[in-house]
Amino acid sequence: MSRFIKNKPTGILRWALHAPRWVYHSGLGWMLGNRFLLLSYVGRRSGLDRETVIEMVAHDKESDTLYVASAWGTRADWFQSILANPHVKIQVGMRKITSHAQVVDPEDAAYWLSIYAKNHPTAFRELSGLLVGKALSGTQEECRELARTVPVIAFRPQHG
């Protein structure tokens, strides 16, 4: 398990990770392109509205499903909260979507991680180095290994 998954971010890293929320709240979410989403959810303990910005692993355009990975594993606050209440709101750029969150099984997670590795090889190498302690090249077996450590979540649009 990675050092990041064991410890939640603090200090400057925590501040830097919150900065993209300010971009969205300034009406400039489009500047983050289609690679990041603003996740709005209900806190599992407080019942209060919460938000975080997460990098997308992939977007399945056919089903309009967005995939993200929980870099801090199953202990991430937002991850625990969506397990308790999977009804969330997503914003990508200027587009807002009501969605249902669901953890993807490891084999499907490996597939979506391999898509990310193919589309963003440098980012995949760097992020995998932080998450599992070694830079991965994105082979199917490496993506399977990563999927055992880093959960992948699907955000499926809810209509009506």
Nearest to 55 by CA among 92, 16, 107, 98: 92
Q: How confident is the model at residue 93 (pLDDT cuts 50, 70, 90)?
A: confident
Prediction pTM value: 0.84
In the chain, at which residue ranges do the beta strands (DSSP E only) sit? Answer: 36-42, 49-60, 65-69, 87-92, 95-103, 152-157
Instruction: Locate the domains of the chain by residue range.
Output: 3-157
Confidence at residue 3, expressed as pLDDT on a 0 to 100 scale: 42
pLDDT tens-digit series, residues 116-148: 999 999 999 998 888 888 899 999 999 999 999
- The rounded mean pLDDT for the chain is 87
3-state secondary structure of 115: helix
Annotation: CATH topology of 3-157: Pnp Oxidase; Chain A (2.30.110)
Q: Does residue 13 register a pLDDT over 90?
A: no
The number of residues in the chain equals 160
Work out the angle at residue 61's Cα, subtended by the Cα atoms of residues 118 and 44, and round it to the nearest 5 degrees.
90
Tell me, what amino acid is at 88?
A: V
Q: How confident is the model at residue 71 (pLDDT cuts 50, 70, 90)?
A: confident
pLDDT tens-digit series, residues 14-46: 656 665 666 666 776 666 667 899 999 999 999
Confidence at residue 19, expressed as pLDDT on a 0 to 100 scale: 59
Q: Does residue 4 register a pLDDT over 60?
A: no
